[in-house]
Amino acid sequence: MKRKRNHLELTRYSGSAGVLSALLLAAWITPTSAQEPAGKDLRLFYSQHCAGCHGPDGAAGKKFKGKDLTDPAWRKGTSDEKMVKVIQKGIFFGLAMPGFKKDLTVTESQRLVTEIIRQSEKGKVIAPEAKGPVGK
C-alpha cells in the first residue's frame, strides 16, 4: 500500500509541476510579446539613410545627387510598387543607390513610400525630431 501512495503522490506532484511550468512559460512569453516594437521609426531611417542624397525634405536640390521625391511629375509617373522595388534592390547594382532589403522588409519599404515619400513636401524637413539609432 505504501508503494501506491508514493506513486500517487509522485503523479500528483508531477502533474502540478507540468501546470506550474506551463504558467511560468506563459508569464515569460507574454511580457516579451507585449514589449516588441511596433515597427521601425521610418522618419529616423530616412534621415539616416536617405537624406544624404535626397535631402532632409526629399526635394534633393543642387547639393544632393538623389531624385527629387517631391516632384509632382515624378510622383505621378512612378508607382508605389516601383518605389518599393527600388528601395529594396537599389539602382544600377547599388552604385547609383544602395538597396535596403537587409534593413527594411517589403512592408516597411511600402510604409516608407506611403507614409514618408508620398507625404513629403519641399521645404518641410521629414524627420526634424528624429534622434538615436535605427532599430532592425
Partners of 91 in the β-ladder? 97
What confidence category does residue 133 fall into, taking pLDDT thresholds of 50, 70 and 90?
very low
CATH code for the domain defined by 42-117 = 1.10.760.10
- Asked whether the whole model's pTM tops 0.75, one would answer no
Q: What is the DSSP string of 62-117?
A: TT--S--TT-HHHHHHS-HHHHHHHHHH-BTTTTSB---TTTS-HHHHHHIIIIII
Domain ranges in the chain? 1-36, 42-117
pLDDT, position 34: 37
pLDDT at residue 25 tops 70: no
Q: What is the mean pLDDT of the chain?
A: 79
| Average pLDDT of span 84-101 | 93
Torsions phi, psi of 124, nearest 5?
Answer: -110, 110
